[in-house]
Structure 1
């Protein structure tokens, strides 16, 4: 089965391509550096020829409100149009647990638009909602940093390794379209501020994490369970302490 992975040279995409290839599928990495650009449409018709499934794990190069909205709206519209013309039977997209609860954030508003376009396209689909990756903990810290202080709310989060996300996306891509959302999360929940303290300590990062109930997350106010998945979420196997140990 031919599976085209949009964003296939990135962190998640390259892992998805590798997993699918190892299971005997024709997995094609599609990205600007392979001649496929979803913003301009360049190379889309050619790469989708004969494809049964398209997996979209691409991300905006900018998180600025207008730029990220333009990216997901334009990219997704072009991609779905090309898929319809190519006769693609299953569209799989990676999104984020809590997207619908984080609409104060420009990034998550854009992700919500992406999901709505997929649902309205008429193409059978599966949307994988993942919690934040272990690999993005530094990014969370950076976004919340003022000087040498990192301000984070004391809310729950259940982070996951990128390997486990890629496994979930791979499973979705070779399965039957669910025409809905599947959630995936890490095996353990942490308090967000404590999680980032652990991550920074493991890297000998000198910044101080301050617990601030009013601190925002990518511009959105958080409630206790905003970032947590529902009770039916699939859980990955990789524990944070094991992942941290592998980074040294």
Structure 2
């Protein structure tokens, strides 16, 4: 089966390509640096030739309201048109848990437009809603930083490792059951402010996290459960503390790992 992965050289896309390849599928990474540009349409017809499935895990390079809307509207429209012409039989998109509850945010309004375009295109489709990635925790902190403080609401969040997101996207892409929304989340819930405190402490980041129920999340107000998945979500296995430990080990100089006996001999 040929699967074209739009955004296939990024954090999630590269993992999806690798995972599908390990399971015997022809997985093709499509991105501007491989000659495929969904905003202009460049390379789409060529890369989609003989493709059965398209997986879209691309993301806007800008989170500014107008720019992100333009990205998702234009790229999704171009991609769906090219898929219809190529005879693609399954479109899979990665989106975010809580998108429909975060419409005060320009980013999530754009993601909703993307989902609506996909559902209305007439191509069999599946949408994977993931909670925020462990790898994106610093981005959340940066977005909420004013000076030396980070203001965050005490809403609950259930983050997930990017490896687990990629695995879920890959499973969905080749699953015989096509259609609907699949939710995936990490195994444990945190308060958002506590999660960021833990993450910053692990990085020896001196910023102070202030709990503020009125603090906005990418421009949207949060209720306690806004960011949580539903009861039928698929739960991944990797815990945040384990991911932090692995990250610290990976960033440690190789000589230090050998001295501690952490490296393979």
Give the TM-score normalised by the residue count of structure 1: 0.99
Equivalent residue runs for 1:164-203 within 5 Å:
164-203=164-203
Cα RMSD for the two superposed structures: 0.5
Whether the 8 Å CA contact 1:129–1:184 is kept in 2: the answer is: yes
Whether the 8 Å CA contact 1:68–1:106 is kept in 2: the answer is: yes
User: Deviations for 1:177-209, whole angstroms, at most 9, x for unmatched residues?
Assistant: 542211000000000000000000000000000
1:107 counterpart residue number: 107
Q: Which 4+ runs in 1 deviate beyond 4 A? A: none
1:125 counterpart residue number: 125
Q: What is the number of residues matched between the two proteins?
A: 248
Whether the 8 Å CA contact 2:80–2:121 is kept in 1: the answer is: yes
Whether the 8 Å CA contact 2:90–2:178 is kept in 1: the answer is: no
Higher-Rg member (1/2): 2
Whether the 8 Å CA contact 2:13–2:29 is kept in 1: the answer is: yes
Tell me whether 1:66 sits opposite 2:97 in the alignment.
no
2:142 counterpart residue number: 142
Aligned partner of residue 227 in structure 2, secondary structure: coil
Aligned partner of residue 218 in structure 2, secondary structure: coil
Equivalent residue runs for 1:1-248 within 5 Å:
1-248=1-248
Q: Which moved more, 1:120-129 or 1:171-180?
A: 171-180
User: Deviations for 1:120-144, whole angstroms, at most 9, x for unmatched residues?
Assistant: 0000000000000000000000000
Whether the 8 Å CA contact 2:119–2:125 is kept in 1: the answer is: yes
User: Deviations for 1:131-181, whole angstroms, at most 9, x for unmatched residues?
Assistant: 000000000000000000000000100000000000000000001354221
Give the TM-score normalised by the residue count of structure 2: 0.93
How far the C-alpha of 1:5 sits from its partner, in A, is 0.1
Counterpart CA distance in 1 for 2:236 and 2:35 is 33
Counterpart CA distance in 2 for 1:174 and 1:212 is 43
